[in-house]
Structure 1
């Protein structure tokens, strides 16, 4: 943080290697070929293994087949699936072919699915048997998609092309020519979805340069250890962290969902050294009654992201894992292509979220004036640099930036004299439930559709296990006898699982608002500190 310390601007390392071809898929493919015989991926449920060489061949077969089928540069290839090896093969093959790739979350509700498809407009969609059953009929109503593909051999629908047919034709890796006529500064490689205050996801465009920058980060540890991840690859944390491991030739064990015994057994069988987790999972492990039945001594590091991890929880988890050397935290977002700050083996301070990582330029700005602040002053995090995304689909990135070109994140942090960042709160009013994001305005809009609801406000109720519980405050219409359960069920029928009103419903006389009509959520949160009978 030397060069602009006096101005309060903190630079992550800006010196890193960029391949001349500027194709992130080809970069990943070249990396796989460095250690062809080493295991790259392990399905943590079935123990099926794929080496880097096998993965590279499957990527080439798929990319070449996609090109033969007519996939063109910048057309969108979508994957709608839980974590499985074919998911990564398809994504990397899409990048190699020059297509833009997007992920349709396997936990979306119908409205969110249609909305995100409307944003990215995929021409090709890859489905797992599970997502085929749930979403295929809905997807076909959009008339957007030209071709659908199915993973595995359990679905025999003649309208679908089989993924296995794409990969069975063997192509010579050394003769395969990925799309290299790419302007990596401008070409969209990946579209991820970032929820905003409107409640519906926004399509964030990540370029090839963004992704190349993200995997140039030095590892937070120096050792070559096996990593276990359970984060959905449709999310930023899941895909960026996993691709980082792949590019650096480290073995990744993956699961698609958390079941305590399966998770702990997976650690034991695979001698996992690194756990990639979110805070609620760490909390669960501190309270586990079955952990003692498994040998988890191989775990040396836990990397936690998504929300701050309490120091008490860090101390407790260290007691439960006998071989644990450290628990690292990071802070980031889709718009910064993953991590913005990160702790490492050589740069660590408990309670912080680390220092600014490679490819990012950061300042802390006064929320009201925009003035750049110095150490130990809380303000909004604003960022720019080669890791900064290319903007939201259909929106001008300049509208999200300040006069110096810094993207306004809406998050409140401060940093100390040594450059360690500490997360404080969010200006944005998103509620974080586990790894999911919940926009209060979306739930408020649904509640207001109920015929017996006059007004509504939604906030997050702090919860040690999951982060925050979406909680509603409701003003009934005169004469209404609507119950809490009726409203909880009314919302649950219309949203994804993580957006349900797990914090319940509180009935009050009036929703506190500013003169301009904005809900004063701070006051609603204060209400949560009172006994329910006193509201």
Structure 2
């Protein structure tokens, strides 16, 4: 380590940047042709247990299991079919509108192995939201189920058609035949090629398509692979994980790819249900779960938990939104043998950037951990632009091999988010402490985090302002113990209107996905704005909180 770098926190007094305190992880040469799929499967095959006896996927509902050998054969067969029968080739994009199932990881790996860009979206999205996403990604094929296919707008044109995973035609596509094998290294996929377009609200405004490359995924998975703890008799590694996360979300997608690389068995739930989750932990002896904070709250408070044997659970990986100290302490008091590790990342950083590792770091409640391997960070004063030392707040900037290429079809947003020298501006107000732990203070960007989903206020404000009885409106995050934050609307009625809260909530509910719904409304005479017309959201947040405390 350079003399100018503080070994306690990684801060360089010379460059004013933070270096990761984790050991650097060696990555394949960037010029080596390699898909994220081939890379993860090569790591899987290094697992000492034979592929035939290594369970990789478990259907929570049916108990159906897939071994690593079966998974590999399905990936090879499906890749061969997609290439030869549907004429999919490198550079095509696949729009994916699917609920979780054990077929989804097979589909992801098959598409990635032939260089097709995967673009998964939330099956709960509305037609107008899906239309916008299709415009960004320009897909040539879509994968859906009979229940989600109806969401595609009639104007959407998929040149290679729509494949329904719950149709009788899909299963034979994965079936192994003597000629249906596919060499995973046959297609020359460069690490710099796009692997996925994932939908993110970015720093402001409408949904954007973040372009992640194969290199981004390879760097991310390489870090997890190299950092996995050594297995011992007293401390076997987490080897059965339960997927509670949506697979279209960056957190769910990378945890899925990671589990394959690390040869972990993944229990898949078709739809999330709290008691079904508890039953699955007991039935399949789940040791590890990636979760969002609301699930930690539920486990700490629910009476249902006592009905099930959760003794196999050893580790929760919490991300998607900050986990409060009180919630973490309440959980640990109830589950003293379960460690919670926290992490921080954005869609634009392939879902990672910082995390806690090990029992000592996990006790740093309130922190999202230390900077991930191979990463650099800056804390930039949003007013002066100066890079700040430990203990000082500013916007977090990140640089490293997991940072996205940019936003699809949005050069302006890309230029506003990515600096020419590779720094990603996160829009989050943060600081590092003297030991290199990162703390998220607030969001400079105006997104609302509802159960780890991003809700852009501007989108809801535009919809509210389209209501004939509304003169003006603003949307803010309102704190909620279960969801983290909920969207709250401040509404100015048109003169003579008697519009009520239920009408406002119902109007928006019909136009957006469930997680974006307005859940609280206050009627006001005017919306506070600065001279340029920008809504002074902080004033409204203070008004909402003071009004709530006055009612207590």
For residues 40-439 of structure 1, the aligned pairs below 5 Å read: 40-69=56-85, 70-132=87-149, 134-135=150-151, 138-153=152-167, 162-170=169-177, 176-185=183-192, 187-196=193-202, 199-218=205-224, 219=227, 221-222=229-230, 223-225=236-238, 226-321=240-335, 323-324=337-338, 326-345=339-358, 348=361, 349-396=364-411, 397-402=414-419, 404-439=421-456
What is the CA-CA distance between 1:440 and the residue it aligns to? Answer: 0.6
1:469 aligns with 2:479: no
Residues in 2 aligned to 1:124 and 1:403: alpha-carbon distance in whole angstroms: 33
The residue number in structure 2 matching 1:23 is 35
TM-score normalised to structure 1 length:
0.93
Question: Which 4+ residue blocks in structure 1 deviate beyond 4 angstroms?
Answer: 1-4, 171-175, 219-222, 532-535
What is the CA-CA distance between 1:68 and the residue it aligns to? Answer: 0.4
**Aligned-partner SS, 2:392:** coil
Deviating more after overlay: 75-84 vs 26-35: 26-35
**Aligned-partner SS, 1:67:** helix
Residues in 2 aligned to 1:196 and 1:340: alpha-carbon distance in whole angstroms: 16
How many residues are aligned here?
522
What is the CA-CA distance between 1:435 and the residue it aligns to? Answer: 2.5
Residues in 2 aligned to 1:198 and 1:361: alpha-carbon distance in whole angstroms: 24
The answer (yes or no) to whether the contact 2:395–2:425 under 8 Å persists in 1 is yes
The answer (yes or no) to whether the contact 1:221–1:345 under 8 Å persists in 2 is no
Structural RMSD (CA): 2.1
What is the CA-CA distance between 1:212 and the residue it aligns to? Answer: 0.1
Residues in 1 aligned to 2:319 and 2:115: alpha-carbon distance in whole angstroms: 31
Residues in 2 aligned to 1:532 and 1:39: alpha-carbon distance in whole angstroms: 51
Going from structure 1 to structure 2, the CA distance change for 1:88 and 1:416 (only over 3 Å counts) comes to same
What is the CA-CA distance between 1:72 and the residue it aligns to? Answer: 1.6
What is the CA-CA distance between 1:179 and the residue it aligns to? Answer: 4.5
**Aligned-partner SS, 1:529:** helix
The answer (yes or no) to whether the contact 2:460–2:475 under 8 Å persists in 1 is yes
Residues in 1 aligned to 2:446 and 2:396: alpha-carbon distance in whole angstroms: 15
The residue number in structure 1 matching 2:522 is 506
What is the CA-CA distance between 1:122 and the residue it aligns to? Answer: 1.2
Deviating more after overlay: 525-534 vs 118-127: 525-534
The residue number in structure 2 matching 1:8 is 16
Residues in 1 aligned to 2:346 and 2:410: alpha-carbon distance in whole angstroms: 18
Going from structure 1 to structure 2, the CA distance change for 1:77 and 1:175 (only over 3 Å counts) comes to closer
**Aligned-partner SS, 1:215:** helix
**Deviations 1:287-323, CA, capped at 9 Å, x for gaps:** 1111111110111111110111112211211232253
The answer (yes or no) to whether the contact 2:27–2:222 under 8 Å persists in 1 is yes
Going from structure 1 to structure 2, the CA distance change for 1:380 and 1:322 (only over 3 Å counts) comes to closer
What is the CA-CA distance between 1:144 and the residue it aligns to? Answer: 3.6
The answer (yes or no) to whether the contact 1:40–1:246 under 8 Å persists in 2 is yes
**Aligned-partner SS, 1:450:** coil
The residue number in structure 2 matching 1:157 is none
What is the CA-CA distance between 1:52 and the residue it aligns to? Answer: 0.7
What is the CA-CA distance between 1:84 and the residue it aligns to? Answer: 0.6
What is the CA-CA distance between 1:200 and the residue it aligns to? Answer: 2.5
TM-score normalised to structure 2 length:
0.90
The answer (yes or no) to whether the contact 1:220–1:345 under 8 Å persists in 2 is no
**Aligned-partner SS, 2:345:** strand
Going from structure 1 to structure 2, the CA distance change for 1:164 and 1:21 (only over 3 Å counts) comes to same
Going from structure 1 to structure 2, the CA distance change for 1:299 and 1:173 (only over 3 Å counts) comes to farther
Residues in 2 aligned to 1:206 and 1:103: alpha-carbon distance in whole angstroms: 12
Residues in 1 aligned to 2:350 and 2:178: alpha-carbon distance in whole angstroms: 32
What is the CA-CA distance between 1:103 and the residue it aligns to? Answer: 0.5
What is the CA-CA distance between 1:78 and the residue it aligns to? Answer: 2.3
The residue number in structure 2 matching 1:158 is none
**Aligned-partner SS, 2:242:** strand
